[in-house]
Amino acid sequence: MLGPLGIHTPIRFDDSLPDGVDVVIIGAGVVGVFAGLYLNRLGKRVLVCEKGRVAAEQSSRNWGWIRQHGRDEAEIPITSHAVRLWHQVNQQTGGACGVKTTGIAYLADTEKDMEGFLAWLDIAKTYELDSYAMSQSALATMFDQPHAGKWLGGTCTPSDCKGEPWQAVPAVAELAHQEGVLIKEHCAVRNLLTSAGRVSGVVTEYGEVACEQVLLAGGAWSSVFARRLGVNLPQLTVEATVVQTQPLDVGVAHAFADSELAMRPRDDGGYSLALTDSHGFYLGPDSFRHARRFLPLLRKSWHDIQFKGLSPTGYSDSWDLARDWQGSDKTPFEHMRVMDPAADGKRVQRIQQRFAQRFPQQPEVAVINAWSGMIDAMPDVVPVVDQVDSMPGFYLATGMSAHGFGIGPGYGRIMARMLAEQAPEHDLQRFRLQRFTDGSKLVVGPAL
């Protein structure tokens, strides 16, 4: 499989529902799968329920970056931990995750960009990252062949990595399954059961399962599920397009991004390419409901947003989406098993044009595949990783804001330890749910 998974991907995991487990995880994306793996290793009985297919939404549609570079300061220790965890699990799966150290670089088109990159390097030094600055002349060492990039300089973190998302997350799911985690695809969770004010089980489309804890790691669908339970989660979705090229030799082994284009080498000899300055946005009820909270982010990145009209029928913020249902009702998660937006044709053309501008010696790049995905985004571009105080036993790990693949093992391990009541290994203050209601000033993190 060379591209994203989808509803037509054969069901691989179809365990029978048990009468009860310790933890039910809603969502088999990268965070949910890793949380299940680590919870099981901590002695918990775990069931992962996935409405569609493992990793069929953003967890197999992303760039495949495993990145410390340019991260929000609060996430740097977690993502550095995640890099180590990715290497471990890649070894445990016999290399099936495709994890390789490539380095990731940010290339500056303007003096202002360069100033911002250098300011982040001061933060990186605090955490002893191997990040460094590159002058315009030093940039030449990144490329073994001529290029026509007009970059003034850049910064790089050599220890950063890449993985192959459509291989990696299913491979980790298989590892977790082999170790004892129950996984059921095509199985939506409809509701939570409570007893004496705390979680006591879940209602799935196939029946009830008793449990003491539930972790919601539903990506773009998390806010729909949480809202029905009275949990206000200010999460929206943006759409992004990725292109897979034919095998190419452009003389660069690093993954890199500038103000317009991102690219990373793939195991098949081609590159995954994407625009860094264009994301689609559909208008839905939540976009108005949460507009005030997103204003600071919109002011910072409005020029990168392409409004695409009303949210399509069945999407997680569509106008006709059921926002309430009974336990026996068919839910939105069953009507739309996998959000699978078509690749934006204009964006694909722009990607090809920008690639040709940077590497004019190459023949016209052939696009083997192109796809889009819906990214769960928070107003401050960092996720919610927390328990829900109003419903003991209910936990959230969502709003990864396009950074989830690389940092997924880190947050999966954090949630496993949180549910197992073990001491946290990281400071989680920035990721608490109550930051949206306790009067805290939201600080918008780096979007890329």
**From CA 93, how far away is CA 252, in angstroms rounded?**
27
Single-letter code of the amino acid located at 18: P
Closest CA to 254 of 103, 135, 63: 103
Topology of domain 23-436, per CATH? FAD/NAD(P)-binding domain (3.50.50)
In this predicted structure, the answer to whether residue 13 has a pLDDT above a threshold of 60 is yes
Provide DSSP, 340-384.
Answer: -PPP-HHHHHHHHHHHHHH-TTSPPPPEEEEEEEEEEE-TTSS-E
Q: Which run of H or of E encompasses 387?
A: strand 384-387
Query: What pLDDT sits at residue 281?
Result: 96
Map tokens 């705390």 to a residue.
198
Query: pLDDT tens, 281-331?
Result: 999 999 999 999 999 999 998 889 999 999 999 999 999 999 999 878 899
Map tokens 């299940």 to a residue.
36
Average of pLDDT values for 258-270?
Answer: 95
Closest CA to 28 of 255, 258, 188: 188
Query: What pLDDT sits at residue 57?
Result: 98
pLDDT band at 251 (very low <50, low <70, confident <90, very high): confident
- Residue count of the chain: 448
Query: What pLDDT sits at residue 276?
Result: 97
Average of pLDDT values for 327-342?
Answer: 94
**From CA 93, how far away is CA 178, in angstroms rounded?**
11
Q: Which two tokens stand for residue 223?
A: 């806010």
Q: Which run of H or of E encompasses 25?
A: strand 23-26
Every domain of the chain and the residues it spans = 23-436
pLDDT band at 138 (very low <50, low <70, confident <90, very high): confident
Q: Which two tokens stand for residue 210?
A: 């008793």
Single-letter code of the amino acid located at 267: D
Percent residues over pLDDT 70 in the chain: 100
Query: What pLDDT sits at residue 146?
Result: 83
Percent residues over pLDDT 90 in the chain: 91
326 vs 372: which has the higher pLDDT? 372
Single-letter code of the amino acid located at 385: V
Pinpoint the alpha helices (H) of 52-134: 76-92, 111-126
Average of pLDDT values for 330-338?
Answer: 97
Query: What pLDDT sits at residue 443?
Result: 95
Q: What is the dihedral of CA 411, 295, 58, 172, to 10 degrees?
A: 0
Average of pLDDT values for 45-71?
Answer: 98
Query: What pLDDT sits at residue 364?
Result: 80
Query: pLDDT tens, 163-193?
Result: 999 999 999 999 999 999 999 999 999 999 9
> φ, ψ for residue 13 (rounded to 5)?
-125, 120
Query: What pLDDT sits at residue 327?
Result: 74
Please name the residues in contact with 382: beta carbons below 8 A apart, sequence gap of 6 or more. 72, 74, 75, 399, 401, 430, 431, 445
Cβ-based neighbour number of residue 249 at 10 Å: 9
Single-letter code of the amino acid located at 377: A
pLDDT band at 43 (very low <50, low <70, confident <90, very high): very high
Closest CA to 370 of 350, 395, 397, 390: 350
Query: What pLDDT sits at residue 140?
Result: 82
Q: Is the distance from CB of 418 to CB of 395 less than 8 angstroms? A: yes
In this predicted structure, the answer to whether residue 355 has a pLDDT above a threshold of 90 is yes
In this predicted structure, the answer to whether residue 2 has a pLDDT above a threshold of 80 is no
Q: Which two tokens stand for residue 359?
A: 């590497």
In this predicted structure, the answer to whether residue 426 has a pLDDT above a threshold of 80 is yes
Integer distance in angstroms from the first to the last C-alpha of the chain?
27
In this predicted structure, the answer to whether residue 52 has a pLDDT above a threshold of 70 is yes
Cβ-based neighbour number of residue 132 at 10 Å: 15
pLDDT band at 14 (very low <50, low <70, confident <90, very high): very high
Query: What pLDDT sits at residue 141?
Result: 83
Q: Is the distance from CB of 394 to CB of 234 less than 8 angstroms? A: no
Q: Is the distance from CB of 399 to CB of 222 less than 8 angstroms? A: yes
Q: Is the distance from CB of 182 to CB of 44 less than 8 angstroms? A: no
Entry pTM: 0.97
